[in-house]
Amino acid sequence: MTRTARWLTLVAALLMASAYVLPLWRISLIAPQYPEGLGMKIRIDNIVGVKENDLNSINGLNHYIGMKRIEPDMIPELKIMPVLLGVLIAAGLGTAALGKRLPLAIWGGTLVAAGVGGLYDYWRWGYDYGHDLADDAIIKIPGMSYQPPLLGPKQLLNFTATSWPDSGGILLVLAGLLVAVALWKSYRKPAHVAS
């Protein structure tokens, strides 16, 4: 590992810690009756409204289509993710301390796996919410499901739902890019020179 790569690794690990305070993801909803918009922020350990009562309002609206209430307490990932992130950060710091490129490669691979896994999990929850609708829903449209988009905008009845990484998520992506650069710098030269 080059000196630069070690620094990059350290910075990446520290950047990842920002996810403890910054929201990872944001789903925004706009409809004619909601010009001010509604929205949810997904944090590492919670889901909160963008405005104080947004989550409550979204749940209220979702009951029309028979969607389950979004109850952060019922989502185990929100308890697992803070621990998982802690482990990943610790591993990152360890990698930087070791300064060897193999651990860096393993760590980088783990990060990619965690990112893909996280996105898949998010998609799975969205699929579940969007498809597992109550039989006695007030509004039932045959063939209609309400899965929120993974990325970008999507029209769901009168709402335009938009899903993007929030500040914490963007920093995580940035951390991943730093790791990629670190890997590239480390593997550009033969092992005996690099490490």
Partner 1 sequence: MAHSFRSRSLLGLAVVVSTVGLGYACTARQGGPSKLTTSEAAQRVYVAPGAKDEFYAFLSGGFSGQVSVYGLPSGRRFKTIPVFSQYPENGYGYTEETKAMLNTSYGFVPWDDSHHTALSQTNGEDDGRWLFINGNNTPRIARIDLTRMETEEILEIPNAGGNHGSPFITENSEYVVASTRFSVPVPNRDVPINEFKKYFKGQISFITADKPGKMAVAFQIAMPGFNYDLARAGKGKSAPIEYMHNSIDAFTRTATSEKLTSVLTVDPKDCPGAVYFMPTPKSPHGADVDPTGEYIVAGGKLASVIPVHSFSKMLKAIEAKAFEGELDGIPVIKYEATLAGEVKNPGLGPLHTEFDGKGYAYTSMFISSEIVKWKLGTWEVVDRVPTYYSVGHLMIPGGNTRKPNAKYVVAMNKITKDRYLPTGPELTQSAQLYDNTGEKMKLLLDFPVEGEPHYANAIEASKLMEKQVKFYKLADNKNPMAVRAEKETGVSREGKKVHVRMTAIRSHFAPDNIEGVMVGDTVLFHVTNLEQDWDVPHGFAIMGNQNGELLIMPGETRTLKWVPPRAGVYPMYCTDFCSALHQEMQGYVRVSAPGSNVALTGTLSKGPSAAPKAEAAPAAPAAPAANAKKKQ
Among 53, 80, 128, 189, binds partner 1 (CB under 8 A): 53
Verify binding: residue 144, partner 1, rule CB under 8 A.
no
Task: For residue 146, give the 3-state DSSP assignment.
Answer: coil
Q: Which stretch binds partner 1 (CB under 8 A): 17-25, 118-126, 131-139, 164-172?
A: 131-139
For 76, which DSSP code? T
Q: Name the amino acid, one letter, at 163.
A: S
Of residues 2, 18, 46, 57, which one binds partner 1 by CB under 8 A?
A: 57
Q: Is 137 in the site for partner 1 (CB under 8 A)?
A: yes
The least CB distance from residue 157 to partner 1, in Å, is 10
The least distance separating partner 1 from the CB of residue 155, rounded to whole angstroms, comes to 17
Q: Which of residues 24 and 54 has its CB atom nearest to partner 1 in the complex?
A: 54
CB closer to partner 1, 35 vs 76: 35
Size of the site for partner 1 (CB under 8 A): 11
DSSP assignment string, the chain: --HHHHHHHHHHHHHHHGGGTS--EEEEEEETTEEEEEEEEE-SS-EEESSTTHHHHHHHHHGGGTPPP--GGG-THHHHHHHHHHHHHHHHHHHHHH--HHHHHHHHHHHHHHHHHHHHHHHHHHHHHHH---TT-SS--TT---PPPSSEEEEETTEEEEEEE-HHHHHHHHHHHHHHHHHHHHHSS-HHHH-
Q: Which is nearer to partner 1, 51 or 131 (CB)?
A: 51
Q: Which of 74, 136, 142, 152 binds partner 1 (CB under 8 A)?
A: 136
Start-to-end Cα distance in the chain: 4
* Residue choice 76, 138, 155, 192 for contact with partner 1 (CB under 8 A): 138
Interface with partner 1 includes 68 (CB under 8 A)?
no
Contacts to partner 1 by CB under 8 A: 36, 53, 56-57, 60, 63-64, 136-139
